[in-house]
Structure 1
């Protein structure tokens, strides 16, 4: 474990005693019950270190990001702003709109304690421009223990064949086999999960990273698309337009067998007073060597020459990444600590599974949003939705849709 580094030792600037009253304005979109509780942990950690947290919450991720950018352009930037661990803020780096946080990152050995996909997203041209606070894995399988028991499913599926066998048993037992909310980001999440579990690491990276014609027309990619299409009959007719949390409720209330959703779904089970391992189960993929899609959230720090604001930015980073803050925050957020060097034994069994996998570099893969520009990622989601919602579409036709979207 890294030693705790004081702010004075971590940064090579002089901070006056007046900094103890320095206000840090933080813009974010965490407004739901669980999210509000989680952001409060970060605020309290910063204030415990002598700062004053000013909360600027804007409902909706895209709205909050736009508001933060507008504040920068208008000359009155916030101290920090929430973004996803992706390429959402890379154009801002290119336009010199962000301060780097190299001093804290280097003093705390981020190169050694953070997962490589996260490092690749926050470190550009040798400089650190974002502070990651968690790992969200979007491709978890959540299932009703009652539904599995009544359908005669004795163990979690380990292979694609076992998954389809389980879905058939759930259907025969009268359950919705696969609970899916019919929104494009949810459909894209399901596709990414199929791609990682069926295609494997190299195909995943080539399909979303290289996006070349040879990869997208390969037999391996066609098998992924074919598997994706074969899941359609297992989704109920109430799927179109349904919110993710309403979909999770189907599993919570034992009306559906399985939902593929990010680890934020765990918060819904917790609010319903459901116990992991007893009322519901979780597994991050098919088999003990399944891949772990690394996503998450970061804070970026708008450009400023104000020494007190720079000091506030650095102190925010220090407080957010402290081991105790990481555990408490991620317990409430439903995610996994971004640091791989801390004790997670106090976290639930699902979080412990995720944290253990993050120690295995070979199992880590970046979320698709880290591998392509945001406009292209939007095209991918549109393609997934077109494929999923086109009646009687063939695998060959679907491949053409994906190639058109990813190669434009």
Structure 2
């Protein structure tokens, strides 16, 4: 009897109690920068507090992390959950029948009632919830150094493209790198999308991404926008090619650069550097009070499994990630804003408060491109944009390539 008891105790110590072991979750994600690491710890801590065991699988780079997750799903050794963007990136996996849904959790917590339409349309497919959204990112924020602006004599945030170029000229004259830009294809595409939304406006943006309208791409207005987009490159520095996004953010944090156009995940880097919004750095979400607000973000999907223990873990992850307390704690560190409006956000910074206020105006909501086009078409368009940015290709030739891309989608 004593021997059997000792064996049972040994197993309990090795594997944990049944409840804890049942809720062991391996989570694949790509959050590896300083601000991102601080944020994902909030998710892990919340899951642990709910009784789960978190197994962290951080893989640097979104594409690498997604590829690893998909390869493991197809290979029969899936993680409990895996990060994707709020987009169509994971819809092919749904079509292949390789994901579990979390309808039970979504229905219990009323996701249909409070998720913004663009996010709901991404995570709810064919009537089932296949992903849990954890945040709302806006990938087209302007972040600026207060010290750099003061040095350049800039006293007000630009309210138009012309005013923005004038501010960049002042920064250059003051010996500051005007625009901190990471020279990687996805960053060049983010800059293009930001410029398209803020300068071209919602109508042009939707005509291109939602309607795939060749006439809009061939219009003088779009060609003019392409030319002004390319003009931005003249305000970057020689070290831009190949630079990581967080290294570009560090340039603004140190005052070496004046502005970065980047998603609100950049704010996590300012916070990690102990800087405060409105004090050392400023933020604005676009030109003017009615500028479009591109809705993006991150979700976690749940690879197919029939193991009851893993299904319980998946449901606990979905439940924990969307709880009001977790939403505030995580998004405070991540730089994003909560996916729900019924949270106490009074303690969030002024940039987050601005985003939350903007989200109340649904007329400003704009789905991110990957919610509207397939990953294949998105990849082709990114290649076209980065070629145009980095070569002497004419705007006319870039237009021709973009027309072929949207027709192919």
Taking structure 1 as the reference length, the TM-score comes to 0.91
Distance 1:63 1:57 in 2: 10
The yes-or-no answer on 1:199 pairing with 2:203 is no
Q: Secondary structure at the match of 1:211?
A: coil
- Contact 1:203 1:220 (C-alpha < 8 Å) held by counterparts: no
Give 1:9-408 correspondences, 5 Å limit: 18-22=18-22, 23-391=24-392, 393-408=393-408
Distance 1:399 1:258 in 2: 28
Q: CA deviation at 1:144?
A: 1.3
Deviation track 1:346-398 (CA, whole Å, cap 9, x = no partner) reads: 1111111112212221111111122211121111111111111223x443233
Range that drifts further, 149-158 or 20-29: 20-29
Q: Secondary structure at the match of 2:56?
A: strand
Q: Secondary structure at the match of 1:282?
A: strand
Distance 1:33 1:252 in 2: 14
Q: Secondary structure at the match of 1:236?
A: coil
- Contact 1:27 1:64 (C-alpha < 8 Å) held by counterparts: yes
1:120/1:161 Cα in 2 relative to 1: closer, same or farther (>3 Å)?
same
Q: Secondary structure at the match of 2:336?
A: coil
Structure 2: 5+ residue stretches without partners: 1-16
Distance 2:138 2:228 in 1: 21
Q: Secondary structure at the match of 2:158?
A: coil
Range that drifts further, 107-116 or 187-196: 107-116
Deviation track 1:272-291 (CA, whole Å, cap 9, x = no partner) reads: 22221111111111111111
Runs of 4+ in 1 over 3 A off after TM superposition: 17-21
Q: CA deviation at 1:71?
A: 2.4
Q: CA deviation at 1:122?
A: 0.7
CA-atom RMSD, angstroms? 1.8
Range that drifts further, 18-27 or 309-318: 18-27
Q: Secondary structure at the match of 1:25?
A: strand
Q: CA deviation at 1:205?
A: 1.4
Q: CA deviation at 1:341?
A: 2.2
Q: Secondary structure at the match of 1:54?
A: strand
Distance 2:379 2:89 in 1: 12
| Structure-1 residue corresponding to 2:12 | none
Give 1:1-16 correspondences, 5 Å limit: none
Q: CA deviation at 1:238?
A: 2.4
Deviation track 1:319-339 (CA, whole Å, cap 9, x = no partner) reads: 111111011111112221111
1:43/1:252 Cα in 2 relative to 1: closer, same or farther (>3 Å)?
closer
Taking structure 2 as the reference length, the TM-score comes to 0.90
Distance 1:311 1:273 in 2: 38
| Structure-2 residue corresponding to 1:4 | none
Range that drifts further, 275-284 or 205-214: 205-214
- Contact 2:214 2:406 (C-alpha < 8 Å) held by counterparts: no
- Contact 1:387 1:401 (C-alpha < 8 Å) held by counterparts: no
Range that drifts further, 262-271 or 285-294: 262-271
Distance 2:375 2:366 in 1: 18
Q: CA deviation at 1:20?
A: 4.6
